[in-house]
Structure 1
C-alpha cells in the first residue's frame, strides 16, 4: 500500500444476494425461503439489501415473485431495501409498491455490445431513458442508485476506457443520481486499474456516493476491494456465498462473498456494522436451501479466532 494512503475507518455494504445472487440459480427458490433469508440478513447489521427485480418474468423467471417478496418481508426500520428496474415499464410496476422499499437501482453498460445484449438498447438510448426516469424516482420520495456495468472491461469488446465510464457516470450524476455504482460485471478488473479509476472518479464526481461492485470470476475480487479502499471508496456491494453473476456472457461467475468481505474488513480494523457470525448463519441457511456448497471461503474455514494468552 502506498505510504500516503489512509484507509477509511468504516464502510457501508449493500447485500445483493436476494436479487443478483438468486437470478443466476438454475432452480426456483420458494418465496417463503426468500422472505426468511432476507429477514435473516436484515438482522445481521446489514442496512442496505437489494431484494427484488422488476425485469420481465420471462427474462428472469427466478425473480418473478418480487412483488410477493416485497409484500411479505418484515425488516427493521433502519434497513433500506432496494429494487432493480430495467426500463420505464419496470419503473411503473415498481412505483405501485413504493411504500415497500427505499431505493431504486437503474442500470446500463459502459460497453455498447454488452448493453445491447443485456437490455437490447444502445448506450445513449439507455442513458436518455435513465435521465427521464430519475425525476420520477425522486418524485416518489425514493433514492436512486445508477449502476454502470462492464465499467472495467467487456467480454465482447475488451478494454473499456476509464474516461468512457466516467463520462457516463458524469451524465448520471448530472441527471440527479444519488449514487453511482461501478460494476466489474465479468471479473475483468485488476487492482492497479481499480485504484487509478476510483481516484479519478472521486475527483470527477465529488458530490455523489461512489460504489464498487466486484465479481470474483478470476479470484481478484477482494484485491480489488483493497485497491478501491486505498482510493477512498467507502461503499461496496457483495452477495452471500459468492452467488450471482451476469446472465448474458458465459462464465460470468459470482460476486465477492459478503462474509469474505466483512471478515477481511474487520481484520483490517474497518467497521461495517455487520455481525459476521449472524451473516454466516444466514449464508448457511442459503446453502441448505440450495442443497449445495457455496463458494465463500469464510463459510468453509470459519472466522479467524485469534488465540489469547
Structure 2
C-alpha cells in the first residue's frame, strides 16, 4: 500500500498574504478526514523566516484529531523548534531539513552541514524523550543551483551518517525540481538497497508536465511513500521556474487508481478538501 503525506504546510509557507487562522483550521480538519498517512500541517520556526506559519500552535489547538488516523508532522529548523514542537502531544513526527548542499543549509537553517548533523543528534534525543519520531529531509538530494559539490555518492554518505545516528525516516527532497525519472530511479534504488530497513520516501517538486513521469519512476523503483499537496501548490521559492510546485495529490491518486493500488483515501472527503483548497489558495500569490 502506498502511503501519502499531504503537505499543506509546504503549500502555504511561501504565500505572502496571511491566511486567517480559522481558514487554516477548517482546511486542515477537512484533510484529516481524507485518510492520509501523515499531515505536514505546520512548522515551529522563526516567524521572521516563515511569517505565514506563525500561528502553528494556535492552529494545532483547534484540530479535530479524535476521528482521524492521520499522524501529524511538524517541521523544525533547529533544536529550539524541536523542543517547542515536542511540548505538543498531538504531534507524532518532527521533520528536519538536512541539506547535502552547504549553501542551502546556510540559507535554509542558518547553520553549516556539520552543525546540522550535531543538531540532528540533539533532535533525536529530544524525540526519544518526548515520544516523537525524527524524520529527515535530504534537501537538494538531486542537485543544487549553487555549484556546490553533488553526486549520488555524496547523498549516500550523508544518508549513512544520519542512519547511524538513529534516523529511521528519510525523504529524498528535490528542492528545486531538477530531478528526472532517471535520477529518481538511480538515487532511490541505490539508497533503498543500502538501507532496506529505513522508511524511505520522496518529496519531489515538479512542473505539471513532468509530475506523472516522476511519480512513475519513484514507484517503479520501489517507493511506497510520497509527499504531495492538493493542486500541486507550494514548492521552493528559489526554484527558477514559477510553475515548479509540489507533486499534486490528485495526480498521484490517479496514477494509483489506474493500477488498482490501495491508498486508503476517502474520495468524498478528498473532494470536499479540494473544493475548500480553492478558498485557501486562489488569488494568493507567493
The TM-score range, normalised by the shorter chain, is over 0.9
Structure 1 Cα separation of the partners of residues 31 and 109 of structure 2? 30
Which of residues 206, 209, 225 is equivalent to 2:196? Answer: 206
Tell me the residue number matched to 1:135.
Answer: 125
Structure 1 Cα separation of the partners of residues 178 and 165 of structure 2? 28
Tell me the residue number matched to 2:253.
Answer: 262
Q: What secondary structure, in the 3-state scheme, does the structure 2 residue paired with 1:59 have?
A: coil
**Of the two structures, which has the highest relative contact order with CA contacts closer than 8 Å and spacing of 6 or more?**
2
Q: What secondary structure, in the 3-state scheme, does the structure 1 residue paired with 2:227 have?
A: strand
Query: What is the CA distance between 1:149 and its match in structure 2?
Result: 0.7
Query: What is the CA distance between 1:104 and its match in structure 2?
Result: 0.8
| Alignment root-mean-square deviation, CA | 1.9
Q: What secondary structure, in the 3-state scheme, does the structure 2 residue paired with 1:83 have?
A: strand
**Is the 2:205–2:246 contact (alpha carbons within 8 Å) kept by the matching residues of 1?**
yes
Query: What is the CA distance between 1:94 and its match in structure 2?
Result: 1.1
- 5 Å matches for 1:139-150? 139-150=129-140
Which has the larger displacement, 181-190 or 150-159? 150-159
**Is the 2:37–2:71 contact (alpha carbons within 8 Å) kept by the matching residues of 1?**
yes
Structure 2 Cα separation of the partners of residues 280 and 165 of structure 1? 38
How many equivalent pairs are there? 283
Q: Unmatched 5+ residue regions in structure 2?
A: none
Tell me the residue number matched to 1:232.
Answer: 222
- TM (norm. structure 1) is 0.87
Structure 1 Cα separation of the partners of residues 194 and 147 of structure 2? 25
Tell me the residue number matched to 2:28.
Answer: 38
Q: Unmatched 5+ residue regions in structure 1?
A: 1-9, 295-309
Tell me the residue number matched to 1:95.
Answer: 86
Which has the larger displacement, 57-66 or 251-260? 251-260
- TM (norm. structure 2) is 0.93
Q: What secondary structure, in the 3-state scheme, does the structure 2 residue paired with 1:62 have?
A: helix
**Is the 2:86–2:126 contact (alpha carbons within 8 Å) kept by the matching residues of 1?**
no
